Amino acid sequence: MNDIDARELRNCFGKFATGITVITALAPDGTKIGLTVNSFSSLSLDPPMILWSLDKRSNSVDALKAAPYFAVNVLASDQMELSNNFASPSDEKFVGVDLIDSDYDLPLLSETVAYLECKNSGTYEGGDHLIFIGEVVNFKIGDKKPLLYANGQYAVAARHPGTKLADPVIGEKASSDDFIIPLLLRSFWEISDPFYQELLDAGIPVAHARILVHLSHTPKLTARQIADAIRVDIASVSMSVSWLCDNGHLTKLDNDCLILSDQGHILLSDVQCRAERFEQEVLDGYSAEEIDLLKSMLRKLIYRKDV
């Protein structure tokens, strides 16, 4: 007799971090099928094959077994709501969802990390689940960050701080590890590039975010003063300010100075929450003492006084 606790086993399975996909297909009657799945896995390169599994109690089992093709849509880090949508039992999952064209008449989701269009090659028994095998007939890769799932909650991918990077070479000899300025620049790029990409994926241009953050602690500045403070050219700042004003995030006073509106504070809160979560990921693995020392050294460099 098997005495394994099913709930604890589920928790154990949840320790394995996975990506999040939405399987889409057309039922024999033409109805669109879509369901969130994290059991996706690559299977073979030659021939190109993948697999995923579905609870036999799902209402979509019979329709998916009959579908000649299905698509695996790999969700991006900003598509958590899409994941929740297709995990629901609603009959209107595709309402308002942007789709892209498919040569196989599949409902492909737009703005994903990747998608794979697959020929349905059959199913296999897997206990209380049915294992679907697909032969990849077409695929496309995007450049966004993937949405992950671990420990029963959503997560995003970040480079592990212990990962060793190749040392950039200046000229043909010197290593940047010998100089503080290249090290600071390199660390800035390593951290800021993926974070800025996440903001862009969420529809928040970097200039918008920097303007909101700066005005939150130094309000009532003109566009020129903001450009000087955040070291962004005035043309870019002016375009961002115009957009932020037009969309209700900034309020322009009579003297052309700018302040955050209530809507601007909401957008700022979104940026700050993303930054806080991203910082926790970047600093994961470092001790509190190491983090405090790093911040202390950076503050000393920023606020140092000329002697």
pLDDT tens for each residue of 191-204 = 888 888 888 888 88
CATH no. for 169-302: 1.10.10.10
- Residues 183-194, mean pLDDT to the nearest whole number: 84
Rg over alpha carbons for the chain, rounded to the nearest Å, is 24
Q: Above 90 in pLDDT, residue 120?
A: yes
Q: Give CATH 1.10.10.10 domain extents, the chain.
A: 169-302
- Residues 267-275, mean pLDDT to the nearest whole number: 91
Q: What percent of the chain has pLDDT over 70?
A: 92
Name the H helices within 249-307: 262-282, 288-302
Q: Which two tokens stand for residue 240?
A: 């961002």
pLDDT tens for each residue of 13-55 = 888 889 999 999 999 999 999 999 999 999 999 999 999 999 9
Name the H helices within 178-233: 180-201, 206-217, 223-230
**Cα 164 to chain center, whole Å?**
23
Q: What percent of the chain has pLDDT over 90?
A: 54
Residue 175: pLDDT band by 50, 70, 90 thresholds? low
Q: Tell me, which fold does domain 6-153 have in CATH?
A: Pnp Oxidase; Chain A (2.30.110)
How far is 10 from 19, CA to CA, in rounded Å? 17
How high is the pLDDT of residue 163?
A: 61
Q: Above 80 in pLDDT, residue 177?
A: no
Q: Give CATH 2.30.110.10 domain extents, the chain.
A: 6-153
- Residues facing 116 on adjacent strands: 72, 139
- Residues 147-155, mean pLDDT to the nearest whole number: 85
pLDDT tens for each residue of 128-140 = 999 999 999 999 9
Q: Tell me the residue type at 107.
A: P
Residue 1: pLDDT band by 50, 70, 90 thresholds? very low
